[in-house]
Structure 1
Amino acid sequence: MLAGAMRTAADLLQAARLPGTGGLSITCDECSISIQVSRHGAPDLLVRLAMLDALAAVLGSTIVRDDDPARPAAWLKIHAVAAGIPVRVHAELRISIHGQGEALAMGPDGGTRTHDPRRYRRPLPPGWRWQTELDHTPHDREHDREHGHGPQREVRSS
């Protein structure tokens, strides 16, 4: 059964014709396949999005966003089945940081505010989500890369 999952994972990657395989981590067991698209191995957001799009197309599924309201963390995820085996694909999003390390949250109206669950001991309010690298324009990302700063510093949460 493990060999079948590994063959299925290899077939998925081949069919997806990914724009590179750097940043992929594939884990198979007897009953599932997990594929991580890592921002450390593929730091360019557009490359990661292209990888997710290609995998979603091959799997006949959609990409959904999943924000953790209790801590500054968000992912893009794909859940599907290939050859009878559940497949989960995920890519962590970089959270935008402001000032002294507080995460930026975005409300339903598009307004932003800082939110530190460690200090406020409350999750994000309903309808709110973390502001991520998806919320920045290509110009913003290029400016930050050129000048070595900006709101896109990495946040490590435990």
Structure 2
Amino acid sequence: MQEIILSIFSFLLLIVILWFTYTTANIFVTIYRCKKLDHSLSFCFNTTGKIVYSLLLIVYVVGFIGGIIAMIYGLLNDSINFYRNGLNIAAFVSVVFAYFGSTIVMIGRKNMMVGRMMIDYRKLKKVNFTYNNKMSFVYAQKDYSFSTRFVDKTQLRKIISK
């Protein structure tokens, strides 16, 4: 009975990996397409953000590939522990990277991109920078907010105030 429950959880974890890997790939494809439309888009990281996102990308690639290799090794050698540990590692790094990837901010001459959403920042209303590293604004009659922990706030304020 316990083995059946663990197999079901492993299957659910595999679905989580696939979903967040799809989300990560979708973010990268959206960034590529938007950069083709607006060549002035560039990442708006502060120094800490550049370091954190660089390390996060390296950890994601190594962890995801290592997790997949551990899963394959576990399946080929009938080692269920290797399989489940690889599954856990791949799922964890996928979830963390997809979360951080959804908060990437890019700015250009006319547009700003937050995650997968392209925004014409000339149409932003009620822009508010809070002290707890958040920016909130109204765009198309909807309220949005995102974390500015790793964003160059001076560059973002300068672009928005034009």
TM-score by length of 1: 0.28
Q: Which has the larger radius of gyration?
A: 2
Greater per-residue strand proportion: 1
Q: Relative contact order (C-alpha < 8 Å, sep 6+): which is higher?
A: 2
Greater per-residue helix proportion: 2
